[in-house]
């Protein structure tokens, strides 16, 4: 009666190394949520513009500092 239960895979949020314009925050969010990164970038720009620029930029900068960069196993792309 003790069936082994499998744990669901935990998704982790990383800054993208490949899909990036500045620091990879929007590319990482797009990968995490499974949407196009252009939509995330557009939403980010709208938030920055409509929040009075400063609060949106602070949030983006904090995200760039806090969210870790994705790990790659390819030694060529890590250069």
**pLDDT score, position 71:** 85
Q: How far apart are CA 63 and CA 66, in angstroms?
A: 5
Could you report how far apart the first and last alpha carbons of the chain are, in Å?
A: 51
SS3 call for 69: strand
Domain boundaries, the chain: 28-66
Residue 41: both structure tokens together: 């970038």
Q: What is the pLDDT of residues 46-68, one digit of tens each?
A: 988 988 889 888 999 999 999 99
Q: What is the pLDDT of residues 2-43, one digit of tens each?
A: 566 787 888 888 998 988 888 999 999 999 999 999 999 999
């Amino acid at each position: 009666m003790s069936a082994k239960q499998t744990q669901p895979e935990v998704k982790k949020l990383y800054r993208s190394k490949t899909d990036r314009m500045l620091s990879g925050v929007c590319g990482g969010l797009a990968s995490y949520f499974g949407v196009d990164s252009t939509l995330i970038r557009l939403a980010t720009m709208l938030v920055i513009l409509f929040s009075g620029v400063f609060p949106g930029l602070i949030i983006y900068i904090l995200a760039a500092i806090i969210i870790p960069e994705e790990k790659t196993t390819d030694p060529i792309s890590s250069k």
